[in-house]
Chains A and B, each alone.
Chain A
């Protein structure tokens, strides 16, 4: 292999890795705050990409139907809970938060569909459509079982993935769609050509990584979010509301997923079911980094990108096999490095 070829493969690996970084950060964020391994994260990325493509094609994005169904379900859950607790005086507020607010972007999309509103407005509308999905799924599926073991949360998460990727097939059909890139600029550095969109993805993933790291290690609110995952009762006893923490985490993760879809879509065509493999590879990256570490997630995801790029060159049929197979030695090494941590994890399960 020549140096030039290796550099080219490495560059391609960074571009792919940057995509996984964004998704891995979202997965780590949700696990840190809620102990949920959120399998449908990749599906949300696909929803974002397909929604933006639909808006650009002048069609109504099917996402609004998913949001509508989820909002109605969440509102019913809230109402039933308040009825049982005898606190119907809080019903108007609950309905405003769980029914009206999530439906606002959907209504906006319904009103604006088919009209040319410009690229920036389309991107913002896509983000606004994706944002409510995470908190709504959390409210419906996870909050009632927030104290359940990690394994139970994971099983629910897998079920949700199948449900919402099935809905994606209904909403968007089996064909993939590719939204227009945000930039067509090309940057030339010492003879190597970098497409502007890939640089955007890289910049977004690094900024998101640094921002999350600073927020969770420096600010009291960040530590409070983390505390709810470590000990829910302890968190409540110091006045942190775990339910609110979960919603905040899912909002932030929804923003990351929306951003990922908008940025990734123009680079790789996403289908209704593309999210799963995307999420799985990012998850491998997050696991390599330890699943609770921000720098770890960034490095792990970039490593997965490199691995995929180089194995694709030698034998493209094996590129996925290698990425998933590498988990085994990595997990063995990690368990050798920190046997004490594993005991605690086992206790938690």
Chain B
């Protein structure tokens, strides 16, 4: 299968501090790929670099085209979408307005926006109940749903999720992963960055382990799940 997103030798960082050093990875169209690793391994930096939020060197192609010439807004229009760790919602706007703005890249297609809004409300009934409420007043789980919903409104072909389970109660985490599983059935490719390695590897088909800004290990997710090196470090050693 040809890769939707293909990165090779990506370096990125903040000023002189290089947080990502020569990372290569592939995300196939419609596939779920996860990047796991400890805190500070460079996972968030990697996603920010792929999205164009940070300057990066290396070669990244998306749908066969070089990403170097595209800025963040162009990448959104091309179907690349990042749900960041901090969610980055518009706290003082209503849930409905947040979702509508998610479709900004397709703002001329009014009928399509209305359909997308219906889809999101069907997928997240909680958001439909709270559509007039200010985003800043939502609970942690609802904010994550809103962030996912806003991302879906942009009609992504590749969804990059940064720690979608961070700071959420275990029950909500299960719900979020259930939603992610539902998303990949719609054909959208997902690049999932997680500290919750077990849940991430169970959702994904392929996995990368990022350590100190470099890929330490990669392989099919089911292999990684049973790999002793992974289970000792990331799964608490009780994988079996």
> Known contacts A231-B89, A231-B91: does B100 contact A236 (CB below 8 Å)?
no
- Interface 1/0 per residue, B102-116 and A, CB below 8 Å: 111101000000000
A50: chain B residues at CB < 8 Å are none
> Known contacts A227-B93, A238-B76: does B104 contact A233 (CB below 8 Å)?
no
Do A241 and B73 touch across chains, with their CB atoms under 8 A apart?
yes
A223: chain B residues at CB < 8 Å are 93, 97, 100-101
A14 beta carbon closer than 8 Å to chain B: no
A234 beta carbon closer than 8 Å to chain B: yes
The number of chain B residues with a CB under 8 A from chain A is 28
- Interface 1/0 per residue, B123-154 and A, CB below 8 Å: 00000000000001000000000000010011
A208 beta carbon closer than 8 Å to chain B: no
B232 beta carbon closer than 8 Å to chain A: no
B70–chain A nearest beta-carbon distance, Å = 12
Distance A49 CA – B136 CA, assembled complex (angstroms) = 43
The number of chain A residues with a CB under 8 A from chain B is 18
A230: chain B residues at CB < 8 Å are 90-93
A344: chain B residues at CB < 8 Å are 91, 136
> Known contacts A220-B104, A223-B97, A224-B101: does B72 contact A236 (CB below 8 Å)?
yes
Do A236 and B93 touch across chains, with their CB atoms under 8 A apart?
no
Interface segment among B22-30, B77-85, B189-197, B202-210: the answer is B77-85
Do B105 and A239 touch across chains, with their CB atoms under 8 A apart?
yes
Distance A239 CA – B101 CA, assembled complex (angstroms) = 9
A335 beta carbon closer than 8 Å to chain B: no
B105: chain A residues at CB < 8 Å are 238-239
B59–chain A nearest beta-carbon distance, Å = 16
Do B93 and A221 touch across chains, with their CB atoms under 8 A apart?
no
Do A220 and B90 touch across chains, with their CB atoms under 8 A apart?
no
Do A236 and B73 touch across chains, with their CB atoms under 8 A apart?
yes
Distance A240 CA – B73 CA, assembled complex (angstroms) = 6
B150–chain A nearest beta-carbon distance, Å = 7
| Additional A-B contacts beyond A231-B91, A236-B72, A237-B76 (12; CB < 8 A) | A221-B107, A223-B97, A227-B101, A230-B93, A233-B53, A233-B84, A235-B101, A236-B73, A237-B81, A239-B77, A344-B91, A344-B136
Chain B contacts to A: CB under 8 angstroms? 51, 53, 72-73, 76-77, 81-82, 84, 86, 88-93, 97, 100-105, 107, 136, 150, 153-154
Chain A contacts to B: CB under 8 angstroms? 220-221, 223-224, 226-227, 230-231, 233-241, 344
7 interchain pairs, CB-CB under 8 A: A223-B93, A223-B97, A230-B90, A238-B76, A238-B154, A239-B73, A239-B104
